[in-house]
Protein backbone atom coordinates (compact mmCIF):
# COMPACT_ATOMS: atom_id res chain seq x y z
CA UNK A 1 0.00 0.00 0.00
CA UNK A 2 1.17 3.47 -0.84
CA UNK A 3 1.08 4.92 2.66
CA UNK A 4 2.81 4.90 6.04
CA UNK A 5 1.96 1.80 8.03
CA UNK A 6 2.47 1.85 11.74
CA UNK A 7 1.76 -0.97 14.15
CA UNK A 8 0.11 0.58 17.21
CA UNK A 9 0.02 -2.60 19.23
CA UNK A 10 0.57 -6.31 18.93
CA UNK A 11 -1.89 -8.91 20.14
CA UNK A 12 -5.61 -8.78 20.76
CA UNK A 13 -7.44 -8.61 24.06
CA UNK A 14 -10.45 -10.46 22.74
CA UNK A 15 -10.76 -14.19 22.97
CA UNK A 16 -12.53 -15.52 19.89
CA UNK A 17 -12.26 -19.28 20.23
CA UNK A 18 -11.39 -20.00 16.60
CA UNK A 19 -8.73 -17.31 16.26
CA UNK A 20 -5.09 -18.30 16.12
CA UNK A 21 -3.71 -14.77 15.76
CA UNK A 22 -5.37 -13.79 19.03
CA UNK A 23 -3.37 -16.54 20.78
CA UNK A 24 0.02 -16.55 19.10
CA UNK A 25 0.51 -12.79 19.35
CA UNK A 26 -0.05 -12.69 23.09
CA UNK A 27 0.64 -10.87 25.28
CA UNK A 28 -1.04 -7.68 24.26
CA UNK A 29 1.58 -4.93 23.93
CA UNK A 30 0.84 -1.30 23.20
CA UNK A 31 3.19 1.30 21.80
CA UNK A 32 3.18 4.56 23.72
CA UNK A 33 1.67 7.69 22.23
CA UNK A 34 5.06 9.44 22.35
CA UNK A 35 6.81 6.60 20.53
CA UNK A 36 4.13 6.46 17.85
CA UNK A 37 4.21 10.19 17.21
CA UNK A 38 7.98 10.21 16.88
CA UNK A 39 7.83 7.24 14.47
CA UNK A 40 5.18 8.89 12.32
CA UNK A 41 7.23 12.09 12.13
CA UNK A 42 10.26 10.13 10.97
CA UNK A 43 8.22 8.15 8.46
CA UNK A 44 6.71 11.33 7.09
CA UNK A 45 10.10 13.01 6.71
CA UNK A 46 11.57 9.98 4.98
CA UNK A 47 8.71 9.05 2.68
CA UNK A 48 6.49 12.08 2.07
CA UNK A 49 3.37 9.91 2.12
CA UNK A 50 0.12 11.72 2.87
CA UNK A 51 -1.68 8.90 4.64
CA UNK A 52 -0.82 7.09 7.83
CA UNK A 53 -2.44 3.79 8.59
CA UNK A 54 -2.55 2.67 12.23
CA UNK A 55 -2.53 -1.09 12.11
CA UNK A 56 -2.93 -3.98 14.55
CA UNK A 57 -5.37 -6.83 15.05
CA UNK A 58 -7.86 -4.42 16.62
CA UNK A 59 -6.59 -0.82 16.75
CA UNK A 60 -9.67 0.52 18.53
CA UNK A 61 -8.65 -1.53 21.59
CA UNK A 62 -5.47 0.50 22.17
CA UNK A 63 -6.10 2.09 25.57
CA UNK A 64 -5.00 5.53 24.29
CA UNK A 65 -6.21 5.40 20.71
CA UNK A 66 -8.18 8.66 21.01
CA UNK A 67 -5.09 10.45 22.28
CA UNK A 68 -3.00 8.99 19.44
CA UNK A 69 -5.46 10.28 16.88
CA UNK A 70 -5.79 13.75 18.36
CA UNK A 71 -1.99 14.06 18.72
CA UNK A 72 -1.51 13.02 15.10
CA UNK A 73 -4.10 15.54 14.00
CA UNK A 74 -2.28 18.27 15.94
CA UNK A 75 1.12 17.37 14.56
CA UNK A 76 -0.05 17.17 10.94
CA UNK A 77 -2.84 19.71 10.97
CA UNK A 78 -1.45 21.86 8.14
CA UNK A 79 -0.03 19.04 6.07
CA UNK A 80 -3.17 17.36 4.75
CA UNK A 81 -2.28 13.97 6.19
CA UNK A 82 -5.15 11.54 6.51
CA UNK A 83 -5.32 8.90 9.20
CA UNK A 84 -6.87 5.51 8.64
CA UNK A 85 -7.57 2.67 11.04
CA UNK A 86 -8.25 -0.34 8.83
CA UNK A 87 -8.74 -2.89 11.60
CA UNK A 88 -11.34 -0.93 13.55
CA UNK A 89 -14.34 -2.85 14.70
CA UNK A 90 -17.39 -1.56 12.89
CA UNK A 91 -19.12 -0.60 16.14
CA UNK A 92 -16.14 1.57 17.09
CA UNK A 93 -16.02 3.09 13.66
CA UNK A 94 -19.59 4.24 13.83
CA UNK A 95 -19.93 5.12 17.50
CA UNK A 96 -16.55 6.24 18.84
CA UNK A 97 -14.54 7.72 16.01
CA UNK A 98 -15.27 10.81 13.97
CA UNK A 99 -15.93 9.48 10.49
CA UNK A 100 -13.75 12.00 8.69
CA UNK A 101 -10.54 10.72 10.26
CA UNK A 102 -11.11 7.04 9.73
CA UNK A 103 -11.13 7.25 5.99
CA UNK A 104 -11.36 9.86 3.31
CA UNK A 105 -13.89 8.03 1.13
CA UNK A 106 -16.90 6.37 2.62
CA UNK A 107 -17.28 3.52 0.23
CA UNK A 108 -17.27 0.08 1.77
CA UNK A 109 -17.61 -0.56 5.48
CA UNK A 110 -16.67 -3.98 6.77
CA UNK A 111 -18.37 -5.87 9.59
CA UNK A 112 -17.21 -9.29 10.76
CA UNK A 113 -20.01 -10.80 12.83
CA UNK A 114 -18.75 -14.30 11.78
CA UNK A 115 -22.06 -15.85 12.81
CA UNK A 116 -25.73 -14.94 12.64
CA UNK A 117 -27.21 -16.43 15.79
CA UNK A 118 -26.76 -15.56 19.43
CA UNK A 119 -26.11 -19.24 20.15
CA UNK A 120 -23.12 -19.35 17.78
CA UNK A 121 -21.89 -15.96 18.97
CA UNK A 122 -21.59 -17.41 22.47
CA UNK A 123 -19.94 -20.58 21.19
CA UNK A 124 -17.18 -18.69 19.41
CA UNK A 125 -17.01 -16.04 22.15
CA UNK A 126 -17.15 -13.21 19.63
CA UNK A 127 -17.63 -10.01 21.54
CA UNK A 128 -20.11 -8.37 19.23
CA UNK A 129 -23.76 -7.51 19.65
CA UNK A 130 -25.76 -8.65 16.64
CA UNK A 131 -28.48 -6.17 17.53
CA UNK A 132 -25.98 -3.33 17.79
CA UNK A 133 -24.62 -4.29 14.36
CA UNK A 134 -27.91 -3.36 12.75
CA UNK A 135 -27.87 -0.02 14.52
CA UNK A 136 -24.29 0.52 13.31
CA UNK A 137 -25.34 -0.29 9.77
CA UNK A 138 -28.14 2.25 10.05
CA UNK A 139 -25.76 4.94 11.32
CA UNK A 140 -23.25 4.08 8.62
CA UNK A 141 -25.77 4.40 5.78
CA UNK A 142 -27.06 7.61 7.31
CA UNK A 143 -23.52 8.99 7.41
CA UNK A 144 -22.89 8.36 3.76
CA UNK A 145 -21.38 4.89 3.57
CA UNK A 146 -22.55 3.26 0.39
CA UNK A 147 -21.80 -0.41 0.80
CA UNK A 148 -21.33 -2.89 3.58
CA UNK A 149 -19.29 -6.03 3.40
CA UNK A 150 -19.94 -8.83 5.87
CA UNK A 151 -17.68 -11.67 6.90
CA UNK A 152 -19.14 -14.93 8.12
CA UNK A 153 -17.77 -18.36 8.92
CA UNK A 154 -19.57 -21.68 8.59
CA UNK A 155 -18.77 -25.17 9.80
CA UNK A 156 -18.11 -24.14 13.39
CA UNK A 157 -18.71 -26.71 16.15
CA UNK A 158 -22.42 -27.21 17.00
CA UNK A 159 -23.67 -25.28 13.98
CA UNK A 160 -26.98 -26.45 12.53
CA UNK A 161 -29.33 -25.25 9.81
CA UNK A 162 -31.00 -22.70 12.04
CA UNK A 163 -27.60 -21.00 12.37
CA UNK A 164 -27.27 -20.88 8.59
CA UNK A 165 -30.74 -19.33 8.40
CA UNK A 166 -29.60 -16.79 10.98
CA UNK A 167 -26.64 -15.81 8.79
CA UNK A 168 -28.89 -15.16 5.81
CA UNK A 169 -31.43 -13.31 7.95
CA UNK A 170 -28.83 -11.08 9.56
CA UNK A 171 -27.38 -10.14 6.17
CA UNK A 172 -30.87 -9.39 4.82
CA UNK A 173 -31.79 -7.34 7.89
CA UNK A 174 -28.61 -5.27 7.52
CA UNK A 175 -29.48 -4.74 3.87
CA UNK A 176 -33.00 -3.64 4.81
CA UNK A 177 -32.01 -1.05 7.42
CA UNK A 178 -31.35 1.32 4.52
CA UNK A 179 -35.07 1.26 3.65
CA UNK A 180 -35.66 3.55 6.64
CA UNK A 181 -33.29 6.09 5.08
CA UNK A 182 -34.09 6.18 1.38
CA UNK A 183 -36.72 3.53 0.82
CA UNK A 184 -34.32 1.00 -0.73
CA UNK A 185 -32.39 -2.00 0.55
CA UNK A 186 -28.61 -1.82 0.35
CA UNK A 187 -26.45 -4.06 -1.76
CA UNK A 188 -24.49 -6.26 0.58
CA UNK A 189 -21.53 -8.48 -0.19
CA UNK A 190 -21.16 -11.30 2.28
CA UNK A 191 -18.06 -13.45 2.25
CA UNK A 192 -18.41 -16.83 3.91
CA UNK A 193 -15.27 -18.62 5.04
CA UNK A 194 -14.98 -22.13 6.41
CA UNK A 195 -13.99 -23.04 9.93
CA UNK A 196 -10.54 -24.61 9.94
CA UNK A 197 -9.42 -25.85 13.39
CA UNK A 198 -6.12 -24.22 14.28
CA UNK A 199 -3.43 -25.22 16.77
CA UNK A 200 -3.38 -23.38 20.10
CA UNK A 201 -6.97 -22.20 19.79
CA UNK A 202 -9.77 -23.49 21.97
CA UNK A 203 -11.09 -25.37 18.94
CA UNK A 204 -7.76 -27.03 18.15
CA UNK A 205 -9.20 -30.53 18.74
CA UNK A 206 -12.47 -30.00 16.84
CA UNK A 207 -13.20 -31.79 13.57
CA UNK A 208 -13.54 -29.92 10.33
CA UNK A 209 -16.69 -30.66 8.35
CA UNK A 210 -16.31 -32.98 5.34
CA UNK A 211 -15.98 -31.15 2.01
CA UNK A 212 -19.35 -32.38 0.75
CA UNK A 213 -21.14 -31.13 3.87
CA UNK A 214 -19.48 -27.72 3.53
CA UNK A 215 -20.63 -27.49 -0.08
CA UNK A 216 -24.14 -28.48 0.98
CA UNK A 217 -24.25 -25.67 3.56
CA UNK A 218 -22.88 -23.20 1.02
CA UNK A 219 -25.62 -24.18 -1.44
CA UNK A 220 -28.22 -23.85 1.31
CA UNK A 221 -27.14 -20.28 2.08
CA UNK A 222 -27.02 -19.34 -1.59
CA UNK A 223 -30.54 -20.68 -2.21
CA UNK A 224 -31.94 -18.98 0.89
CA UNK A 225 -30.60 -15.61 -0.25
CA UNK A 226 -32.12 -15.72 -3.73
CA UNK A 227 -34.27 -12.66 -4.35
CA UNK A 228 -32.46 -10.50 -1.79
CA UNK A 229 -29.83 -7.83 -2.33
CA UNK A 230 -27.25 -9.87 -0.48
CA UNK A 231 -24.59 -11.47 -2.61
CA UNK A 232 -22.86 -14.35 -0.89
CA UNK A 233 -19.44 -15.58 -1.94
CA UNK A 234 -17.77 -18.66 -0.53
CA UNK A 235 -14.30 -19.93 0.15
CA UNK A 236 -13.25 -23.00 -1.79
CA UNK A 237 -14.08 -25.93 0.51
CA UNK A 238 -11.30 -28.07 -0.95
CA UNK A 239 -8.70 -25.38 -0.39
CA UNK A 240 -9.86 -25.04 3.22
CA UNK A 241 -9.53 -28.79 3.63
CA UNK A 242 -5.88 -28.71 2.53
CA UNK A 243 -5.36 -25.81 4.91
CA UNK A 244 -6.77 -27.92 7.75
CA UNK A 245 -4.56 -30.91 6.93
CA UNK A 246 -1.45 -28.75 6.93
CA UNK A 247 -2.52 -26.68 9.96
CA UNK A 248 -2.85 -29.73 12.16
CA UNK A 249 -0.05 -31.66 10.57
CA UNK A 250 3.01 -33.17 12.19
CA UNK A 251 6.52 -33.93 10.97
CA UNK A 252 5.10 -36.21 8.27
CA UNK A 253 3.50 -33.16 6.64
CA UNK A 254 6.93 -32.01 5.45
CA UNK A 255 7.06 -34.81 2.87
CA UNK A 256 3.55 -33.87 1.64
CA UNK A 257 4.51 -30.26 1.08
CA UNK A 258 7.76 -31.26 -0.60
CA UNK A 259 5.96 -33.76 -2.86
CA UNK A 260 3.32 -31.20 -3.80
CA UNK A 261 5.99 -28.64 -4.62
CA UNK A 262 7.85 -31.17 -6.79
CA UNK A 263 4.61 -31.83 -8.65
CA UNK A 264 4.24 -28.14 -9.44
CA UNK A 265 2.20 -26.72 -6.54
CA UNK A 266 3.04 -23.06 -6.07
CA UNK A 267 0.95 -20.04 -5.09
CA UNK A 268 -1.84 -22.39 -4.03
CA UNK A 269 -3.69 -19.64 -2.21
CA UNK A 270 -4.70 -18.34 -5.64
CA UNK A 271 -7.59 -20.39 -6.96
CA UNK A 272 -6.23 -20.45 -10.52
CA UNK A 273 -3.03 -22.09 -9.23
CA UNK A 274 -4.70 -24.47 -6.80
CA UNK A 275 -4.85 -28.11 -7.81
CA UNK A 276 -6.63 -30.30 -5.29
CA UNK A 277 -5.85 -33.58 -7.07
CA UNK A 278 -2.12 -32.93 -7.00
CA UNK A 279 -2.29 -32.38 -3.25
CA UNK A 280 -4.18 -35.65 -2.83
CA UNK A 281 -1.45 -37.46 -4.78
CA UNK A 282 1.20 -35.74 -2.67
CA UNK A 283 -0.49 -36.98 0.53
CA UNK A 284 -0.80 -40.49 -0.85
CA UNK A 285 2.84 -40.68 -1.88
CA UNK A 286 3.87 -39.52 1.60
CA UNK A 287 1.65 -42.20 3.17
CA UNK A 288 -0.52 -39.56 4.84
CA UNK A 289 -4.26 -39.97 5.28
CA UNK A 290 -5.56 -36.36 5.14
CA UNK A 291 -8.84 -37.06 6.98
CA UNK A 292 -6.80 -38.18 9.98
CA UNK A 293 -5.58 -34.60 10.39
CA UNK A 294 -8.55 -32.54 9.19
CA UNK A 295 -11.81 -34.37 9.75
CA UNK A 296 -11.28 -36.13 13.03
CA UNK A 297 -11.95 -34.82 16.50
CA UNK A 298 -8.70 -35.14 18.43
CA UNK A 299 -9.40 -36.77 21.80
CA UNK A 300 -8.35 -35.12 25.05
CA UNK A 301 -5.97 -38.01 25.76
CA UNK A 302 -4.16 -37.41 22.48
CA UNK A 303 -0.82 -35.58 22.57
CA UNK A 304 -0.93 -32.85 19.95
CA UNK A 305 2.07 -32.32 17.64
CA UNK A 306 2.30 -28.62 18.53
CA UNK A 307 2.02 -29.00 22.29
CA UNK A 308 5.74 -28.47 22.79
CA UNK A 309 5.47 -24.95 21.35
CA UNK A 310 4.88 -22.49 24.17
CA UNK A 311 2.61 -19.64 23.12
CA UNK A 312 0.44 -18.87 26.12
S1 LIG B 1 -10.94 -12.74 15.57
FE2 LIG B 1 -10.20 -10.61 15.70
S3 LIG B 1 -11.13 -9.82 17.58
FE4 LIG B 1 -11.28 -12.06 17.70
S5 LIG B 1 -9.42 -12.68 18.84
FE6 LIG B 1 -8.95 -12.77 16.64
S7 LIG B 1 -8.00 -10.80 16.18
FE8 LIG B 1 -9.07 -10.57 18.14
- Give residue 42's pLDDT: 93
What is the C-alpha to C-alpha distance for residues 176 and 294, in angstroms, rounded to an integer? 38
Which one-letter DSSP state was computed for residue 24? H
Name the residue among 227, 96, 225 with its Cα closest to residue 152. 225
Name the residue among 68, 32, 75, 35 with its Cα closest to residue 53. 68
State the ipTM, two decimals. Answer: 0.99
Q: Is the CB of 22 under 6 A from ligand 1?
A: yes
- Give residue 93's pLDDT: 67
CATH code for residues 105-235: 3.30.750.200
- Give residue 2's pLDDT: 80
Question: Coil, helix or strand for 192?
Answer: strand
Spans of all domains in the chain: 1-85, 105-235, 248-312
What is the C-alpha to C-alpha distance for residues 62 and 55, in angstroms, rounded to an integer? 11
To the nearest whole number, what is the mean pLDDT of the chain?
Answer: 90
- Give residue 100's pLDDT: 47
C-alpha dihedral, 218 to 224 to 228 to 234, nearest 10°: 0
Q: Is the CB of 127 under 6 A from ligand 1?
A: no
- Give residue 94's pLDDT: 66
Order of strands, sheet of 51-55, starting from the edge strand that comes earlier in the sequence: 4-7, 51-55, 82-84
Give the residues of the chain that fall short of pLDDT 70: 1, 87, 90, 93-95, 97-107
What is the C-alpha to C-alpha distance for residues 28 and 14, in angstroms, rounded to an integer? 10
Report the DSSP beta bridge partners of residue 114. Answer: 152
Which of 58, 61, 127, 153 has most ligand 1 atoms within 8 Å of CB, for mutation? 58
Domains 1-85 and 105-235 share a fold: yes
Atom of ligand 1 nearest to the CA of 89: 3
What is the C-alpha to C-alpha distance for residues 224 and 190, in angstroms, rounded to an integer? 13
Q: What is the DSSP string of 205-256?
A: TPPPPPHHHHHHHHHHHHHHTTTSSEEEEE--HHHHHHHHHHHT--TTHHHH
What is the C-alpha to C-alpha distance for residues 184 and 139, in angstroms, rounded to an integer? 15
**Fold classified for 1-85:** Transcription Regulator spoIIAA (3.30.750)
What is the C-alpha to C-alpha distance for residues 101 and 109, in angstroms, rounded to an integer? 14
Q: Is the CB of 60 under 6 A from ligand 1?
A: no
Amino acid sequence: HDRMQLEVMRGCRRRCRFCQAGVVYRPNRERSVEKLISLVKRLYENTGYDEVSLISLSSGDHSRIMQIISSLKDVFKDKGISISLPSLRAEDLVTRFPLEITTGRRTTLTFAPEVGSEKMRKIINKDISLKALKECAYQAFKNGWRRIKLYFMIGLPQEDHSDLDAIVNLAKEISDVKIKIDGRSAKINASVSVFVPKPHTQFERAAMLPIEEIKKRQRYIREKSIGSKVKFSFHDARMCYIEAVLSRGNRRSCACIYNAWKMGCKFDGWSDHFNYDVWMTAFKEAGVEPDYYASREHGLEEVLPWEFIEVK
